[in-house]
């Protein structure tokens, strides 16, 4: 099937601006011309690419067309850079990384490619990260989902282990008589945000009961861990971040079974550019700090 790049880029403009009128202004054509291009593409592929809502929404076919257009633009940018007689500077790439990975291990390997790639790193939860891949907003994502998005490849990175930890003074106050359903129902905990269920999973593992302790929400990785260090509550912190503090006694591991293992995967466009492959290689190399195996759970955004 031959897809006219101009028609595909018109769908991208409609998706990004939300209406045919706004897309027409961006493309410097009339709304009628935009509508004709969209209809021509739909005729070409034999299915609709847009839901005519306000703002418009992409169909699955529309998402595929947008990925195609953005992949084409990425490959064209790579070719221009390769053929240019002088260095053209870093080329833009948008990827998605969950907050804890970005805070603990993913940023360092990305620094190694930052002179060649102008990165936009989006911090999103695993479900939304895949939606961004499907719509073509991002070219790659660190995710907990091993099922490849259409048009993408997927590779396992490793396992992020989380430990339930708290400050020593907090442990003496709330867990002096042990860690059980009674103490855990009273002891405040710290969650990243309302989508963060790592603490709830740990509670079910420890108590086999429905307990609802007081919850503080601190939606930033560094501040989340700092809130725990200051005694605001207990919470799940990546082992690669808190392991040394636990061994030194600066933090207390709440219980030997208070562990949650989260598998991480790297998904990227299958028709990738050389720069995207370089970013993927850097992340896979940086992920060597992760564990090789563990018990699956859901990741924090």
Task: Kindly state whether residue 299 falls inside one of the protein's structural domains.
Answer: no
Does pLDDT of 2 surpass 90? Answer: no
- Enter the pTM of the model: 0.79
Residues 255, 176 share a domain? yes
Helix, strand, coil share of the chain (percent; to 5)? 45, 20, 35
Whether 138 and 175 map to the same domain: the answer is no
pLDDT computed for residue 73 by the predictor: 83
- Domain membership of residue 301 (yes or no) is no
**153 and 167 assigned to the same domain:** no
Domain hosting 92: range is 88-157+264-289
| Whether 270 and 143 share a structural domain | yes
| Same-domain check for residues 122 and 270 | yes
Number of domains in the chain: 3
Q: Does some domain include residue 218?
A: yes
**pLDDT exceeds 90 at position 214:** yes
At 290, list the tokens: 């992760």
Q: Is residue 298 part of a domain?
A: no
β-bridge pairing 91-96 and 117-122: parallel
**146 and 180 part of one domain:** no
Could you tell me how far CA 115 lies from the centroid of its own chain?
23
Q: Are residues 62 and 92 in the same domain?
A: no
H helix intervals, 167-250: 168-174, 181-186, 198-207, 221-229, 239-248
CB 135 within 8 A of CB 15: yes
Q: What is the pLDDT of residue 241?
A: 96
Residue 82 lies in a domain: no
CATH code of 239's domain: 3.40.190.10
Q: What's 274's domain CATH number?
A: 3.40.190.290
Q: How far apart are CA 123 and CA 95, in angstroms?
A: 9
Residues 6+ apart with CB under 8 A from 195: 125, 301
- pLDDT tens sequence across 218-236: 999 899 999 999 999 999 9
Q: Does 234 lie in the same domain as 114?
A: no
- 187/254 same-domain check: yes
pLDDT of the residue at 67: 86
> 48 Cβ partners below 8 Å, 6+ apart?
42, 59, 61, 62
Do 178 and 214 lie in one domain? The reply is yes
Confidence category of residue 102, pLDDT binned at 50, 70, 90: very high
On whether residue 223 sits in a domain, the answer given is yes
CA distances in angstroms from 185 to 181, 200, 235, listed in the order given: 6, 11, 14
Backbone angles phi, psi at 65, to 5 degrees: -65, -45
Residue 22 lies in a domain: yes
Q: Worst-scoring range by mean pLDDT, 13-17, 59-63, 86-90, 244-248?
A: 86-90
**Tokens 């989340």 belong to residue:** 224
Residue 117 has a pLDDT of 87
Q: Is residue 15 part of a domain?
A: yes
Do 231 and 175 share a structural domain? yes
- Does residue 244 share a domain with residue 181? yes
């Amino acid at each position: 099937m031959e897809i006219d790049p101009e028609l595909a880029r018109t769908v991208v403009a409609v998706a990004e601006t939300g209406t045919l009128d706004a897309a027409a202004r961006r493309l410097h054509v009339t709304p009628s011309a935009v509508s004709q291009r969209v209809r021509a593409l739909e005729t070409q592929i034999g299915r609709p690419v847009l839901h005519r809502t306000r703002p418009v929404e992409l169909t699955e076919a529309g998402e595929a067309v947008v990925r195609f257009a953005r992949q084409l633009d990425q490959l064209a940018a790579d070719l221009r850079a390769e053929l240019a007689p002088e260095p053209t500077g870093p080329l833009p790439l948008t990827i998605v990384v969950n907050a804890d990975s970005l805070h603990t291990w993913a940023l360092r390997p990305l620094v190694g490619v930052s002179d060649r790639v102008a990165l936009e790193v989006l911090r999103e939860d695993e479900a939304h990260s895949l939606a961004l891949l499907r719509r073509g907003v991002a070219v790659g994502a660190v995710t907990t989902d091993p099922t490849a998005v259409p048009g993408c490849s997927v590779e396992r990175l490793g396992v992020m282990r989380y430990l339930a930890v708290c400050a020593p003074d907090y442990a003496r106050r709330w867990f002096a008589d042990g860690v059980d359903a009674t103490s855990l129902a009273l002891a405040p905990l710290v969650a990243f945000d309302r989508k963060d269920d790592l603490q709830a999973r740990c509670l079910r593992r420890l108590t086999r009961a429905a307990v609802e302790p007081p919850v503080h929400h601190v939606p930033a990785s560094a501040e989340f861990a700092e809130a725990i260090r200051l005694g605001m509550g207990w919470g799940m912190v990546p082992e690669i971040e808190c392991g040394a503090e636990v061994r030194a006694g600066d933090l207390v591991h709440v219980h030997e079974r208070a562990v949650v293992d989260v598998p991480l995967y790297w998904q990227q466009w299958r028709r990738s550019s050389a720069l995207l492959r370089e970013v993927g290689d850097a992340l896979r190399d940086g992920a060597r700090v992760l564990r090789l195996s563990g018990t699956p759970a859901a990741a924090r955004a």
